[in-house]
Structures are given as structure tokens and as C-alpha cells.
């Protein structure tokens, strides 16, 4: 664990060279075989609250966001064995999948990280849960930890719907 923290500190800016401007910690992602099988533990034994459930068809994943105070935990269940989370489970088993950070401008952040020599899994943002834009950094950038960047999109004036991502580019 010390290596992960040290590697992430080096990537995230404790040395003053690389950082996430305006970024804040968003959640920890945990890959599971079946959300329904683990939900009682997190909700009943740990007292976490169920905040959101959603299927992200494009990523072939079902997500369940849990909260405890300011902390967020995202449970990830694959919708198929060849989905990214399905492949992760086959290779590594259940457990921590990623750390996520919210950023103001994901495209600007990706360009900044690319210019700093950080290896990216996603060169361009893609659609994520809750109509957000997401991109992943290669685990080698943070001592084996998969890092997700998230940009929440502004809501349309009508209220409930999120703005079209194409309108923000």
C-alpha cells in the first residue's frame, strides 16, 4: 500500500510538477461479480447508503454508487465476460478497480497529463455513468493503480436532463 500512495503522490503533484488543477477525489471503484450479493454487506453491516444504480450500456457495466458521509464507493458489475470489468474480474478477481477524481475540464486535463508524459488509456473522453465524461490513465502512471478522471456535465435549463456532451466541445 505504501508503494501505491507514494506512486500516486508523485503523479498527483506533491513534488509540484504534475497535478490535477481543480480536481477532487470522487470515489473508489470496486469490481464485483454480482452487486446484489455484496450490497447487503455495504448497506447493512457498514451502514452505507444506496445513492444511485445505473446501467452504462456503452461500457457493458452495471454500477451502484454508495455513500457514507463524503466518501463514495462505486460497485461495478460486468454485463458480459468480455466487457472491461468482466476481463478485469477474470484476470484479478473481485476487489479495488480504480480511484476516481473529478475535474473541471477533462479535455484540458488529458492534454496537460499527455504533455507531462503521463500514459493514458483514453486519449479522448467518453460517456460515463450519470451522463458524465470519463477517461482513464494507464495504471503504470500511478504504480499499478487505475485512475479515472470524471467531468460532470452541466444540467440543461429544463432541469433534470444533462446537457449534450457535443454542445460542450
**pLDDT profile of the chain (169 residues), mean per 10:** 45 50 88 98 98 95 97 98 97 97 95 95 94 95 95 68 43
Q: For residue 167, what pLDDT is reported?
A: 44
Sign of CA dihedral 93, 42, 80, 27: negative
Count CB neighbours of 141 within 10 A.
Answer: 23
Considering only the top CATH level, what class is 2-14+24-168?
A: alpha beta
Q: For residue 54, what pLDDT is reported?
A: 96
* Residues near 23 by beta carbon (within 8 Å), at least 6 away in sequence: 101, 102, 103, 104, 109, 149
* Residues near 106 by beta carbon (within 8 Å), at least 6 away in sequence: 125, 133, 134, 135, 149, 150, 151
Q: For residue 132, what pLDDT is reported?
A: 94
Query: What's the CA gap between 116 and 13, in Å, rounded?
Result: 11
Per-domain boundaries in the chain: 2-14+24-168
Question: Taking the model in full, what pTM does it have?
Answer: 0.79
Q: Are 122 and 110 in contact (CB under 8 A)?
A: yes
Amino acid at each position: 500500500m505504501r508503494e501505491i500512495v507514494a506512486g500516486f503522490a508523485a503523479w498527483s503533484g506533491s513534488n509540484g510538477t504534475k497535478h490535477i488543477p481543480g480536481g477532487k477525489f470522487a470515489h473508489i471503484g470496486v469490481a464485483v461479480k454480482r452487486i446484489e450479493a455484496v450490497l447487503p454487506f455495504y448497506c447493512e453491516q457498514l451502514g452505507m447508503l444506496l445513492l444511485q444504480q445505473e446501467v452504462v450500456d456503452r461500457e457493458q457495466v452495471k454500477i451502484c454508487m454508495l455513500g457514507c458521509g463524503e466518501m463514495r464507493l462505486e460497485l461495478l458489475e460486468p454485463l458480459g465476460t468480455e466487457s472491461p470489468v468482466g476481463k478485469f474480474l477474470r484476470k484479478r478477481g473481485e476487489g479495488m478497480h480504480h480511484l476516481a477524481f473529478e475535474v473541471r475540464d477533462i479535455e484540458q486535463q488529458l492534454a496537460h497529463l499527455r504533455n507531462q508524459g503521463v500514459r493514458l488509456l483514453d486519449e479522448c473522453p467518453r460517456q460515463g455513468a450519470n451522463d458524465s465524461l470519463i477517461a482513464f490513465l494507464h495504471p503504470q502512471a500511478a504504480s499499478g493503480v487505475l485512475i479515472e478522471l470524471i467531468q460532470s456535465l452541466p444540467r440543461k435549463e429544463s432541469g433534470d436532463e444533462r446537457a449534450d456532451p457535443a454542445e460542450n466541445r
